[in-house]
Structure formats: C-alpha cells, structure tokens
Chains A and B, each alone.
Chain A
C-alpha cells in the first residue's frame, strides 16, 4: 500500500506553560475519511491549526507524501494541497459563488479577469461532486443556505486540486437535514481519492461517514481504529476516559512502566 498522504509524528505544541499536544501521532490516508474526535479542549482544533500552518509546531515532524515538510504559514499548507474548511461558514457574503471559490487566486490578467473561464471551472467542479442543489454559480453567497455554503467551501478544496481536506466541525452550524447533505459530500470527496479529516462531536455522523476514528484525550492520541472494529460506546469511553478495554491509554498501574 502506498504512503499515507499526511503523517504527524510526535507533534507537540504548547501555549505558554500549557502543553496542548503531547507527542501526537496522526495518519491521514488518501481516499479515506478519518474522523478526529475528542472532548472540548482535547486539542482537535489545535492539531488542525498546526497542519494548516496557523500555529507552528514546537516538536515532532510532519510528513507529506512520505517527505518531511515544514509548515510555517497557511500559504505553505495550501501550496502542499492542504485545505481547511471551518465551522463558521467562512465565505464572503457580498460575492457570488464563483468569486468566492477563486478568492485570492483569480484567473486572467489583473485588469481583466477571465470570468467565463472561472465560471466554467466552478461549474465543472460542482458537477464533479454531483452537486445539483445549487442552481446558479452566479448566486451571491448571502442568499445560500448554511448547507449550500459549506458545499461551496468544500467544492473550493476540490477546485484547487487539494490532496487533503480538513473539516473542522463543518456541520456544527447546520440543521439535521443539511448536516446530512454535507456529510454526503464529505464521503464523495474521499471517493475521489482525497484524504479527508472530519472533526465532529456527533457520534452518529462519525459512524455514518468515517473509515477510521482517531481519538484525542487531553492532548494525547489515545487510539486510531477502523470504524468497523469499534462501537459507539467504546468511542465515547475513549473520548471521556482515554481508554476502553484494551484500547487507549494503558491502565494507571501499568502507566509507570509504559508511557
């Protein structure tokens, strides 16, 4: 089997005296949805921000396609093909879908943008994801529903030929039915061969789309397991206690010798 597309090895991060990530190992494989779960403050968002280049890492290494890389700024991450979709529907309200998808990376000359080329590319991308819920790519984003906005944000990742997409609670601001449509899109991203990381608090969502589940507990990666091998209960135990049976952290009595 080929190399994992993205691999974190013993990554650490502190904010002042607070150690947020302790030697975290994390693997993202192309074509799979990896769910990243954990309680509030477990370090999920920090981990994503480290990969996205918002926070520099203090220790450990990041490998992309098997090669060690340094990510100092968001631009480094997007140059590698890492795209992040945030929960707060981060799109520019006053622009239309095409303008949003190409924001900062417009095509054409600075004084004359190639509007028709961009429009076609946007339309092709939406079609490749079988998005048929958006009627016109020239609709202003302000008129879109939350689900449609996330669709546009995710489609942006495909348009830019990203290799890895990190979704930080993409459905937190959405209703039940819209959540389902976004999850459907998340799965189709993976089916196109992208590596997808989904942060979510909703166990039902995680079990519906994820191929593997990675659990963070107080800044430590306690388990990375295939979804089909675990139950809801086990994952909840991992999130809340850091262990479940044989999975997760070693028992306290053994901890002195082990970790």
Chain B
C-alpha cells in the first residue's frame, strides 16, 4: 500500500507517518495503537506522538476498547472523527445525479439525489443544482468541506476534469472540473464512472484484498475500470476503460461510437429491456422489479435472457483473456441480474477462457456496493487530495 518511510528530515518523516496512519484509519477503520504500530512498522512512541497530534487537531479520538484481549493495560482504540474531514462526492448518471457528504473513514453524513430529464440534463443546470444542494447539505450538517470528487459516465481528462464526450448524457467538451471547482471553491477532481467504481470496490467493497481487478458497470452504457498491481490502470491521458466498445457482434446494431455490434449495445440497459420485452426507456426500478420477478421463475430465464447471457459471457471471456484479473466485479444494473444468469456467464468464462483455466477459474462476483459504488469511488477520489494535508 504505502511505501516504507523514506523521509530524511524529521519534518518529512513526521508528515509521512501522519498521512500513512490517517490512510490506514480511513481505509480499514478504527484500531488500537498497538495494531497501528505493528501494521505501519513504527515505534510505539512515534505512534503516540502522531496520534496525540491528530487528537489535538480533532481528527481522531481515543477510547478504551470494549473487548479486551490478553493481560495488561489495554491499548487505546484510535477512532477517526468523520466530521473533522469531509468531502463532497457527486455521481452524475444519465437518469439522475446523486451526491453525498462523506466523512473520513467513509461514513456518509448526508445525501441527496434527483432525476434528470431532457431539459435538466444540460451541464449548466446540473452544475447549478449540485452547488445549491452542496450548500444545503453543508449548512444542515454544519461541516467544513475540504474537497470534491465527481463521477461522470464519459471520457474524462484526468488532469483538469475536462469531459471530452459523455454520449449518453449528451455532453461534449465540458470543462466540468474547472467550472465546478471554481463555483464550489474546492479542489475538485473528476473521474470516469467505471474507474471510480473500481476504486470503490478496491478500497471499500468486495475487492479489498485483490490487487488485480476489473470492475464492469452497466447503466445505459457499459464501462470498465481496471486496477492492476494495486494501482488504477489509466492509459494515456487517463482515457482507459471504454470496454463497452469492444466489438462482439460483427454486423450487429449500430452504436453511437461509430462501430457496429459493440458489447454495450448487446448488454447495456436498453439491450436488457429489449430482451425482457420492455420499452427501452423503462425506469430503472421497473426493470429491477421485472428482473426480481424473473428470478422467481427459473423456467423463463433461459428463454428471455439466454442470448443476453451469451453476449455477457462473450465479452467477459475477452476481458479475462486480455487483462487476467484476479476478480471481476459486476456492478450497477448487473447486480440485479438473476443469480442463474451470473452463474451461467461465470461457467462459460471458466470453460472458454485460457487465462481463467490457468488460474483455476477467475472469480466473478456481484458488487456489494451496488448503485452506490460510483459515489463511494468519487469520495475516495476526493480524499486522495486531502489525506496528505490534514
């Protein structure tokens, strides 16, 4: 996770220790001083000095642990104080915007969301609404917000949060990071939705212990985030992740991207609606309700979703062969699929993928964070900016 202490001057070393300790508390939750000392490989007196400093600043508190193990004086529990460092997380989707105030340690302090329609989906409208709601939440919770992280379903330039294309939103060339940052007056980072989903699963979800994972999220479009060797795979300009536009069906439906038969056109939300015989603009909840009903009627699954499962598996085989992940996490809409469909797709991957056979079956699992994954990822993106400086 963190590199070993490399500070040469005492000041550097202290700052480094402080942020390493905070990161540990932020990601893995409260623990005792003794555990901190063992995990970070630091002297107990060093830990005491750092914790005392943080406690004085109000970032952590200490308490006597309720469960004791072993003899002797118990080591004090160190608990991060969520209110002391708060970030704003925003998840912009095609059909809605969700936002939350998240405290250090990952606790969601307050949240809000609203539907997007044709007229309210314009960048200016969204930015205004986000800023107004942020103000409200901030006043209500009486917190100081230190940074913001934003998830967008599109191609985003990492350096300044410039959104090149977010086709399903109908956005093109929007300087989102700069505009939001200047109105909110906060350091603001913008990331691709799938990349942030992967980050969320890696930090707080099912993939905490995996250093190679692919997060696949289906909404209207289909995107993928990749963590390789414990770090996000970003590619040039940070543009990696347009996994939905792998061509799987030559001569298939035309995709907005210019190609035909993209994976997205076969397994995205509209494709799922088509398979179930619903109109393509069915609200998400109605689609989920339909999938629930279907889970209870196993005899219909194969008939309705047989072809869908086949396309899902086809793409997954390519993905696993190409990136050799330890774990593939299916997120967002894919979490609502009947378990049988996921089992079937997993079986196909295990059967057809060379890489999967070599590692004895690649794990494919449903995201426990569900619809919140991107929001949690956006919060982590924001925390990355401030953990160094608290």
Contact = CB atoms under 8 A, between A and B. Distances in A.
B107 interface: yes
Given A177-B110, A191-B371, A2 B293 contact: yes
A1 B117 contact: no
Given A31-B284, A176-B136, A187 B289 contact: no
Interface in B123-140: 133, 136-137, 139-140
A181 interface: yes
Given A1-B277, A133-B108, A208-B115, A178 B284 contact: no
Interface string B279-300: 1001111111111110000000
B182 interface: no
A191 B118 CA distance: 20
Nearest to B277: A1
B252 to A, nearest CB: 25
A193 B293 CA distance: 10
A116 interface: no
A32 B136 contact: no
A259 interface: no
Nearest to A176: B136
Contacts of B117: 207, 227-228
A258 interface: no
A131 to B, nearest CB: 9
Interface residues of A, number: 32
Contacts of A208: 113-115
A193 B96 CA distance: 17
A205 to B, nearest CB: 9
B118 A209 contact: no
B278 interface: yes
B208 interface: no
B98 interface: yes
A207 B372 contact: no
B115 A31 contact: no
A191 B133 CA distance: 22
Nearest to B108: A132
Contacts of B290: 1-2, 31
B365 to A, nearest CB: 18
A29 to B, nearest CB: 6
Nearest to B286: A31
A191 B285 contact: yes
A190 B371 CA distance: 13
Interface in B24-63: none
A192 interface: yes
A184 B285 contact: no
B285 A190 contact: yes
A175 interface: yes
A188 B284 CA distance: 10
A240 B304 CA distance: 45
Contact of A181 (B110, B282, B286, B291): B110
Contact of B107 (A32, A132, A175): A132
B363 interface: no
Contacts of B141: 177
Contacts of A227: 115, 117
Interface in A1-17: 1-2
B285 A177 contact: no
Contacts of B340: none
Interface residues of B, number: 37
Interface in A203-238: 207-211, 227-228
B323 interface: no
Contact of B285 (A31, A175, A228): A31
Given A30-B285, A180-B133, A193 B292 contact: yes
Given A207-B115, A209-B115, A32 B108 contact: no
Nearest to B336: A193
Contacts of B277: 1
Contact of B283 (A177, A181, A190, A192): A190
B8 to A, nearest CB: 41
Most chain A CB within 10 A, of B113, B291, B293, is at B113
A30 B117 CA distance: 21
B97 to A, nearest CB: 10
B115 A181 contact: no
A133 B115 contact: no
Nearest to A192: B288
A228 B114 CA distance: 13
A156 B278 CA distance: 31
Nearest to A210: B115
B203 to A, nearest CB: 15
A177 B135 CA distance: 9
Interface in B356-390: 370-372
B301 to A, nearest CB: 15
A31 B288 contact: yes
B133 A32 contact: no
A228 B140 CA distance: 30
Contacts of B284: 31, 191
Contact of A180 (B112, B283, B293): B112
Interface string A94-134: 00000000000000000000000000000000000010110
Interface string A166-208: 0000000001111011011001101111100000000000011
A191 B291 CA distance: 12
A210 B118 CA distance: 15
B64 interface: no
B122 interface: no
A181 B111 contact: yes
5 contacts: A1-B279, A177-B110, A180-B133, A209-B115, A228-B117
Given A130-B370, A210-B115, 13 more contacts: A2-B290, A31-B288, A32-B283, A32-B285, A32-B286, A132-B107, A177-B137, A181-B110, A184-B112, A192-B288, A193-B292, A194-B289, A211-B285
The 5 closest A-B pairs by CB, nearest first: A31-B285, A177-B140, A30-B289, A193-B289, A31-B286
